[in-house]
Amino acid sequence: MAAQAAALSAQQQQFSMGERIRALEQENTNLEAWGDQKERYELIELTDGVFAYSLKQQAREGEPAHVICANCYGDRTRSILQEEVRNPGRVHVKYCPHCGLEHFIHGGREPNHQTSKRRPN
């Protein structure tokens, strides 16, 4: 009976180790894919002190020119900044749909606005 319990325990440990190996292999694959993806972008300044990553001209591969969120880039996520015009043309914002970060390109929420602010959820 003790031998069966030990065999069952060893089998469960082997299964757990196999699952952990598969998870690590997937994580490694994701890191390699992100490494290839991040090389396609370069850091640019949108406005004074506001940065994003722009798709390099030679890396477009049929994609339109775009910029991705520097915050998400740091988290290994490619989130394309979206443009929005608010307050009938007086406020221009680039915002990240993934993390909610807003970059006021022209105008602002209030007269004394910050250039970058997280969107309220």
Average pLDDT estimate for 47-68: 91
**Residue 120's pLDDT band (boundaries 50, 70, 90)?**
low
**What is the domain partition of the chain in residue ranges?**
1-39, 41-121
Buried-exposed string 4-18: b where 16+ CB fall within 10 A, e elsewhere: eeeeeeeeeeeeeee
What's the pLDDT tens digit per position in 75-119?
Answer: 999 999 999 988 777 888 899 999 999 988 877 765 544 445 555
Sheet containing 41-47: order of strands = 41-47, 50-55, 67-69
Mean pLDDT, residues 22-29: 92
User: If you average pLDDT over residues 17-36, what whole number do you get?
Assistant: 89
Specify the amino acid at residue 16. S
- The percentage of the chain sitting over the pLDDT mark of 90, rounded to a whole number, equals 50
